Amino acid sequence: MKTTTSLFPLLILSLQVTSAIAADTGEAGGTLPAVDMTEWKCKYCAFEEGFSGTVDLGLGYVSTDSYKFGEYTGLTDEGLYLIGDADLRYRGADASYLNVDVSRLGLDSRSLGVEGGKQGKYKLTFEYDELPHYISDSVSTPFLGTGTDTLTLPPTWVGAGSTGGMTDLANSLHSVNLDTKRKRLGLGAAFASGSQWEYAVKVRHEVREGTQRTAGNFFFSTAQLVMPVDTVTDQVDASATYTGKKFQARLAYYGSLFSNENTALNWQNPYFTGGTVDAGQIALAPDNQFHQILASAGYQFTDSTRATADLAFGRMTQNETFLGATVNSGIVVPAQPRSSLEGLVNTLNANLKITSALTQALRLNGSYTYNDHDNRTPQASYYWVSTDIPPVQQRTNLPYSFTQGTLKVSGDYRFTKQTKASLGVDSDTRERTYQEVSKSTENTVWAKANTRVVDNVYLTLKGAHAERDINGYEVLPWVSPAENPLLRKYNMADRVRDTAGLRADFTIGSAISLGFGYDYANDDYSKSLIGLTESKDTTLAADASARLGKSTSLHVYFTNEQIRSHQAGSAGGLTPDWTGENYDSVNTGGIGVKHALIAGKFDIGADYTISNAHGEIKVYDGSANAPFPDLVSRLGSVKLYATYRLKDNLSLKGTYWYEHYRSDDWQLDGVTPSTISNVLAFGEQAPSYYVNVFMLSLRYKF
């Protein structure tokens, strides 16, 4: 029946064309009149010229202040805000064009993008973005001068050996918000020479300002501090690209220059020390540069065989003048061997890839990647003071370097139109300097298969087995106090990793689709007596979508992820005497519905999302100590939206958004600035909120 239905329009069209030919040639006695094709039009072939686009303008309202709710969007403050979005297009008959995109004009996460030029000739771009990050609005501190590089205590401050003895602490506390904002400005241009060459250049200027958390120590006492953020990053990317029938090549340069307006953070000591140590200093990120030259090429040997290669040389430098080892005059530090680091790291990245279809069913792939991080920073023995505790010590800097080589070989074979299988082997070798493991090798065997069991059932299976071997684990002689010789850092330890996955997709008729997925991963560190010994991750997912009639659609999804890890430790000697277990479970689900209440006129919809995360930390050491409290976070979100078309080119859009979030974190909850005797804390609390957002806007389309 489907075949007959699909052939019917083709048959009618054939008869019409045959009739037209017959009429024009006089065949069949000329009994059929000629077909008038002057009014025939291809509605998909029209070239859009002139201006077009959409403009959204309206107001939104946020019911409650919350840094967590607006962490990256800017919806942090109670009150009204402007809704302003635009998508503008221009197309000229001479292939000239212009695209303008404006997003979130009334928020701190606003962006503007402009691109224009003449297709096949040149392109000019302009970009501006503001990217906020609202970190915390529950910080309290006695320090004055937050946001600057110098923190001082109030004149009435009373120092003490513990936070409980700081009698002026409660009166000196004031609220501080932690947040940063990135402002990015980018300009770009690309030109085609009219042959096979294209040249492009792009520059970007980024300013990042605000405040973040940090902490400073005096002896065995700590204070949480507000760190200033005031940095500038300038980037440039220039390239020349050649595109031929078989050969393609690109030569490019990338540069990044980072500068920090603040070299250090200075603060007064809030603890009483008898007047010998009254100030501290923390070095902030130093100015640095990175430059890289990249060359890449690709060649099509035959219709079925292609090779690509790229080679990049990079150079990182950092040569800021050293700060003093201490700002306290009571500690005498000898002169350092040099006044700056003279930091230099050379990088080399190379990649070669070949693909070849030997037959219509069989394709082979091979690649080799080489990365070299060569630290040429000169070594020297420097004098240093730890948390302003004499005596002055010496330590030699260790210019860590590494090389990595990865070889991958794989093949794809299509057994039938419905079934395809892939098999591959990967080998990764890493060599390091100044690390516990100088060389490690990891070999992986993996397989993947896709098949259509019947017309409406699709299956995907995948699995991999990997083994990482090390050439011996050494105790580093320069680490003091000495590490336990049984300790194994998980990123350099012997490991066996097994992964598996299954995905099944079903279609029921033309209106319903279902999907199920399962992923499993297990890391076994059986040779590690102290350290991470096992990690397991399982994920179960399901989703469905359905079209309920001509005017209603529905979708639903659910995901459960469980992560477990085990580790062993030693507090009293060489052998393990305690174990720990971490268990995290995350459940996420959602449902959405969209309905055309009046076809072509009035659409409504709703989305509901929920996410629950639960974390447990248990330690077994033979004592009766209570376990850590559970870590909990819960999120629920409801969105109701509607669009009413006032005219063909004018629509009214309304949205109601309700979201609630709750978290329990034993690291924050109940910890006031004076709760811990030797930690002057911020007194932050785990975030929770209930927020309502109302949005009403007009969309004009032209």
Report how far residue 396's alpha carbon sits from residue 478's, in angstroms, rounded to the nearest whole number.
9
pLDDT at position 37 is 58
**Residue type present at position 406:** T
pLDDT at position 573 is 77
**pLDDT single digits (tens) 279-302:** 999 999 999 999 999 999 999 999
pLDDT at position 6 is 36
**Residue type present at position 445:** V
Question: If you write DSSP's letter for every residue of 396-412 in order, what string do you get?
Answer: E-----EEEEEEEEEEE
pLDDT at position 460 is 98
Instruction: Identify the burial level of 382 via C-beta atoms within 10 angstroms of its C-beta, where 0-12 means exposed, 13-18 middle and 19 or more buried.
Output: middle
Q: What 3-state class would DSSP assign to 165?
A: helix
Structure tokens at 441: 């090798």
Contact 566, 576 (CB under 8 A): no
**Residue type present at position 510:** S
Nearest 5°: the CA angle 16, 18, 21 is 110
Bin 53: left if φ > 0, else alpha if -120 < ψ < 50, else beta.
Answer: left
Bridge-based pairing state of the strands 343-357 and 305-318: antiparallel
Report how far residue 526's alpha carbon sits from residue 361's, in angstroms, rounded to the nearest whole number.
41
pLDDT at position 562 is 98
Please report, rounded to a whole number, the percentage of residues in the chain having pLDDT higher than 70.
93
Domain map (residue ranges) of the chain: 1-35
pLDDT at position 40 is 63
Structure tokens at 186: 């980018």
The residues pairing with 282 across neighbouring beta strands, listed in sequence order, are 265
Q: Measured in whole angstroms, how far is the alpha carbon of residue 586 from the centre of its chain?
A: 19
Contact 117, 123 (CB under 8 A): yes
The parts of the chain modelled with pLDDT lower than 50 are 1-32
The stretches of 476-598 forming alpha helices (DSSP H) are none
Task: From 296, 301, 342, select the one nearest 319 (Cα to Cα).
Answer: 342
**pLDDT single digits (tens) 561-572:** 999 999 999 988
Contact 189, 198 (CB under 8 A): no
Count of positions (residues) in the chain: 702
Residues 6+ apart with CB under 8 A from 432: 400, 401, 402, 438, 439, 492
Measured torsion, CA atoms of residues 212, 218, 223, 229, in degrees rounded to the nearest 10: -10
Structure tokens at 445: 């065997």
Report how far residue 188's alpha carbon sits from residue 127's, in angstroms, rounded to the nearest whole number.
9
Measured torsion, CA atoms of residues 441, 442, 443, 447, in degrees rounded to the nearest 10: -160
Instruction: Supply the pTM of this predicted model.
Output: 0.88
**Residue type present at position 307:** A
Task: From 579, 679, 591, 573, select the one nearest 627 (Cα to Cα).
Answer: 579
**pLDDT single digits (tens) 23-49:** 343 444 444 455 555 556 565 555 678
Contact 485, 475 (CB under 8 A): yes
Distances (CA, A) of 128 to 204, 517, 524: 9, 40, 47
Torsional sign, CA 129, 135, 140, 146: negative
Q: What 3-state class would DSSP assign to 627?
A: coil
Mean pLDDT over each residue of the chain, to the nearest integer:
92
Report how far residue 664's alpha carbon sits from residue 78's, in angstroms, rounded to the nearest whole number.
24
What phi and psi values does residue 20 have, to the nearest 5 degrees? -65, -40
Q: What is the DSSP letter of 21?
A: H
pLDDT at position 45 is 55
**Residue type present at position 107:** L
What phi and psi values does residue 163 have, to the nearest 5 degrees? -65, -30
Largest separation between any pair of C-alpha atoms in the chain = 120
